[in-house]
DNA sequence: GAAGCGTGGTA
DNA sequence: TTACCAAGCTT
């Protein structure tokens, strides 16, 4: 296989480009791979260290739409709390949600627990060793099934995540916009994936996408695919992948009601419904959130939504938080109580136990505002 | 196929 | 600062 085009030829056209090849990527990965808590690096794999499917699965679920930096501490915490699949299967969903709090996309945590239970019960505690069977499990879709199968079981199956979509759309100058481009991209990845080390190839591609082949200002001169990349050849790398424009987020408005226990400053919490946004997570008692766009929540009417029989005072400032599909602006009201149960359905959380609650970030911001004053 | 579903980092 | 982005899945 030719490694390089003739010297002296600049990449103004793609006529003389060689085909991208997996060997160049694997060689780059061997030298430049990241070292990550869930990863067995090539040097160790070559002397027989194997990937633990439980670790691979755990990391892949956590990494869905989530950065490596955010995942690391959660991965370590989960493996400390539940070292094996059977430990996790023996845990309660409540404890899993508490440990997941702050990482986002909470259906992942509920599916993580469901999946552990299912594998424990129906697969004798061992993950299926191929993508097709893995995809049947809760929380495991196209990408994750392929990733686990290739990384943990060396199955030669195309792995396509956002990084790889970007790399491949550049390598092959794919003008079609996502998500329509997914099919041709997957075909190219299948073509490119080697029968040897398919898992290292997938991880290498993702490392490349996370470093050199970045969305903005890719470092093409250092890339193992340099000279074989069609987008580089036409000098138009940043334009790919082409994506449909995104809708702008509306803003919603609401109020949250902090009830502090007089004697020790404990906060009254309650559980959210088991469907929809932040399902089954904990919350500070709150109003509904109003206003698809401009229709603003009337501040004067906020107290109409307050728990009954309590006198609230409004705190200075607002909590601003952005979810996947809308911005939220919350006014925060506060009161102190000496009741053992200021409203029905809920519980007191003492200051030192708040960190262990299944409180999403938006409500941690609310509590934080109450502590500042 | 489109919409719902979190969060923190970055430019 | 607003907007975008990061190892997607489910309905």
Where is the domain boundary, A239, A259, A277? A239
Residue A261 structural domain? 251-372
Give the nucleotide at minimum CA-to-C1' distance from A359: B6
The mean pLDDT of A11-38, rounded to a whole number, is 85
Task: Evaluate the CA torsion angle A245, A275, A280, A284 in order and state its sign.
Answer: positive
Summary mean pLDDT of chain A? 91
Using an 8 Å Cβ cutoff, are A59 and A75 in contact? yes
In this complex, which residue's CA is closest to the C1' atom of nucleotide C11? A276
Report the percentage of chain A scoring pLDDT > 90: 85
Report the percentage of chain A scoring pLDDT > 70: 92
Q: CB count, 10 Å around CB of A213?
A: 27
In this structure, is residue A15 part of a structural domain?
no
In this structure, is residue A11 part of a structural domain?
no
Distance from residue A177's CA to nucleotide B1's C1', rounded to whole Å: 14
The mean pLDDT of A347-372, rounded to a whole number, is 95
Distance from residue A64's CA to nucleotide C7's C1', rounded to whole Å: 6
Name the 3-class secondary structure at A316. Answer: strand
Q: What is the per-residue pLDDT across A39-73, written as a single tens digit (0 to 9) for each?
A: 999 999 999 999 999 999 999 999 999 999 999 99
In this complex, which residue's CA is closest to the C1' atom of nucleotide B10? A216
pLDDT at A298: 56
In this complex, which residue's CA is closest to the C1' atom of nucleotide C3? A248
Alpha helices (runs of H) in A91-233, residue ranges in sequence order:
93-100, 107-122, 131-134, 142-153, 162-171, 182-192, 198-210, 230-233
Where is the domain boundary, A239, A261, A284? A239
What are the φ and ψ backbone dihedral angles of A138, each rounded to 5 degrees? -60, 130
In a shared domain, residues A97 and A232: yes
> Is the pLDDT at A349 greater than 90, yes or no?
yes
* β-sheet bridge partners, residue A348: A268
- Chain length of chain A: 373
Q: Following CA atoms A260, A265, A266, A270 in sequence, which dihedral angle do they give, to the nearest 10 degrees? A: 20
Q: What is the per-residue pLDDT across A138-170, written as a single tens digit (0 to 9) for each?
A: 999 999 999 999 999 999 999 999 999 999 999
Give the nucleotide at minimum CA-to-C1' distance from A141: C9
Helix axes A198-210, A142-153, angle to 10 degrees: 120
In a shared domain, residues A82 and A162: yes
* CATH code where residue A150 lies: 1.10.340.30
In a shared domain, residues A144 and A278: no
In a shared domain, residues A229 and A289: no
In a shared domain, residues A50 and A157: yes
In a shared domain, residues A234 and A213: yes
Distance from residue A237's CA to nucleotide C9's C1', rounded to whole Å: 29
Distance from residue A179's CA to nucleotide C4's C1', rounded to whole Å: 17
In a shared domain, residues A218 and A255: no
Nearest to A285 by CA among A240, A229, A344, A214: A344
In this structure, is residue A323 part of a structural domain?
yes
In this structure, is residue A59 part of a structural domain?
yes
In a shared domain, residues A166 and A85: yes
What are the φ and ψ backbone dihedral angles of A78, each rounded to 5 degrees? -65, -40
In a shared domain, residues A67 and A206: yes
A60 classed as catalytic: yes
Q: What is the per-residue pLDDT across A222-273, written as a single tens digit (0 to 9) for each?
A: 999 999 999 999 999 999 999 988 888 989 999 999 999 999 999 999 999 9
In this structure, is residue A296 part of a structural domain?
yes
Residue A238 DSSP symbol? G
Residue A129 DSSP symbol? S
In this structure, is residue A8 part of a structural domain?
no
Using an 8 Å Cβ cutoff, are A307 and A257 in contact? yes
Number of domains in chain A: 2
Where is the domain boundary, A239, A266, A292? A239
Residues with Cβ within 8 Å of residue A44, at least 6 apart in sequence: none
> Is the pLDDT at A296 greater than 60, yes or no?
no
In a shared domain, residues A68 and A189: yes
Taking 3-state DSSP, the helix, strand and coil percentages for chain A, each rounded to the nearest 5, stand at 40, 10, 45
In a shared domain, residues A195 and A223: yes
Q: What distance in Å separates the CA atoms of residue A14 and residue A150, rounded to the nearest whole number?
A: 32
In this structure, is residue A244 part of a structural domain?
no
In a shared domain, residues A127 and A27: yes
Q: Which positions in strand B are less than 7 Å from the protein's CB atoms?
A: 1-9, 11
What are the φ and ψ backbone dihedral angles of A54, each rounded to 5 degrees? -60, -45
Residues at the strand C interface (Cβ < 7 Å)? A 34, 36, 38-39, 59-60, 63-68, 105, 107, 111, 138-145, 147, 161-163, 166, 203, 206-207, 209-210, 214-215, 243, 245-246, 248-249, 322, 324
Confidence of residue A291 (pLDDT cuts 50, 70, 90): confident
In this complex, which residue's CA is closest to the C1' atom of nucleotide B11? A216
Q: Following CA atoms A220, A223, A227, A228 in sequence, which dihedral angle do they give, to the nearest 10 degrees? A: -110
What are the φ and ψ backbone dihedral angles of A329, each rounded to 5 degrees? -120, 120
* CATH code where residue A331 lies: 3.90.79.10
In this structure, is residue A136 part of a structural domain?
yes
Please count the CA atoms within 13 angstroms of the CA of A209 that sit on its side-chain side.
22
């Amino acid at each position: 296989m030719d490694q390089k085009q003739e010297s002296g030829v600049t990449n103004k056209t793609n006529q003389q480009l060689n085909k991208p090849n997996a060997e160049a990527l694997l060689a780059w990965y061997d030298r430049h791979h990241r070292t990550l808590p869930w990863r067995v690096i090539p040097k160790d794999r070559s002397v027989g260290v194997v990937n633990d499917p439980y670790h691979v699965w755990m990391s892949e679920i956590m990494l869905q739409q989530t950065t490596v930096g955010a995942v690391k501490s959660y991965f370590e915490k989960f493996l400390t709390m539940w070292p094996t699949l059977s430990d996790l299967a023996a845990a309660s969903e409540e404890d899993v949600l508490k440990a997941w709090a702050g990482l986002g996309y909470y259906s992942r945590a509920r599916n993580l627990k469901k999946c552990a239970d299912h594998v424990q019960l129906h697969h004798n505690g061992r993950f299926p060793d191929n993508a097709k069977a893995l995809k049947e499990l809760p929380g495991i879709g196209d990408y994750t099934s392929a990733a686990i199968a290739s990384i943990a079981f060396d199955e030669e199956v195309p792995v396509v995540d956002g990084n790889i979509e970007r790399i491949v759309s550049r390598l092959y100058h794919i003008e079609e916009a996502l998500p329509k481009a997914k099919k041709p991209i997957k075909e190219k990845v299948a073509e490119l994936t080697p029968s040897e080390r398919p898992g290292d190839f997938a991880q290498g591609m993702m490392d490349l996408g996370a470093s050199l082949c970045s969305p903005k200002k890719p470092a093409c001169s250092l890339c193992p695919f340099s000279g074989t990349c069609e987008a580089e050849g036409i000098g138009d790398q940043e334009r790919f992948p082409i994506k449909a424009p995104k809708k702008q987020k509306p803003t919603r408005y609401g109020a949250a009601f902090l009830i502090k226990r007089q004697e020790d400053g404990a906060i009254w919490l309650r559980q959210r419904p088991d469907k929809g946004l932040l399902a089954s997570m904990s919350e500070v008692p709150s109003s509904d959130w109003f206003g698809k766009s401009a229709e603003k929540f009337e501040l004067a009417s906020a107290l109409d939504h307050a728990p009954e029989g309590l006198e609230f005072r409004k705190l200075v400032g607002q909590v601003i938080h952005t979810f996947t599909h809308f911005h939220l602006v919350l006014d925060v009201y506060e009161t102190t109580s000496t009741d053992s149960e200021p409203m029905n359905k809920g519980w007191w959380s003492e200051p030192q136990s708040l960190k262990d609650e299944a409180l999403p970030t938006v409500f941690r911001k609310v509590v934080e505002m109450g502590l500042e004053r």
